[in-house]
Copies of this chain bind each other. A is one copy, B any other.
Amino acid sequence: MISNYINRRVSAADLILKVNFTSDGLVPAVVQEMESGTVLMMAWMNRESLARTIESGRTWFWSRSRKELWAKGDTSGDIQLVHDIALDCDGDTVLIEVEQQGKGACHTGNYTCFYTGVLREG
């Protein structure tokens, strides 16, 4: 849980300093369900949404189309509780490991946003 993170005295600022944000100040965030390993969604974070994610223990993103911060589940109730956050080797992608609440991650009603595929029916 994110509380362990706080206990380890790694501040939000420390993590955020390691991220290589794009020139637009964004980083792609891949959200994975911890228990099942299911990749639930990909969305974008800026510094503020990453800080809010760390501090609140639930996922916050940046909407590029609406140009605003949004908290996952504020409308649907299907929030994501953060268990861990990992950076990739070059610091330009974050992997958020979560416990998905409610009906799932996708606004379409599917559990994961990756429900259409080549071999899957969608």
Contacts and interface: CB of A to CB of B under 8 A. Distances in A.
B118 A89 contact: no
Interface string A78-91: 00000111111110
Contacts of A54: 118
A119 B88 contact: no
Interface residues of A, number: 39
A75 interface: no
Contacts of A38: 37
A5 to B, nearest CB: 5
B113 A10 contact: no
Central interface residue in A32, A85, A89, A90, by most chain B CB within 10 Å: A89
Interface of A: 4-5, 8, 10, 15, 18, 28, 30, 32, 36-39, 41-42, 54, 83-90, 93, 95, 106-108, 110, 113-120, 122
Given A10-B118, A42-B88, A84-B117, 10 more contacts: A5-B118, A8-B118, A15-B118, A28-B42, A32-B37, A84-B118, A87-B114, A88-B113, A88-B114, A89-B110
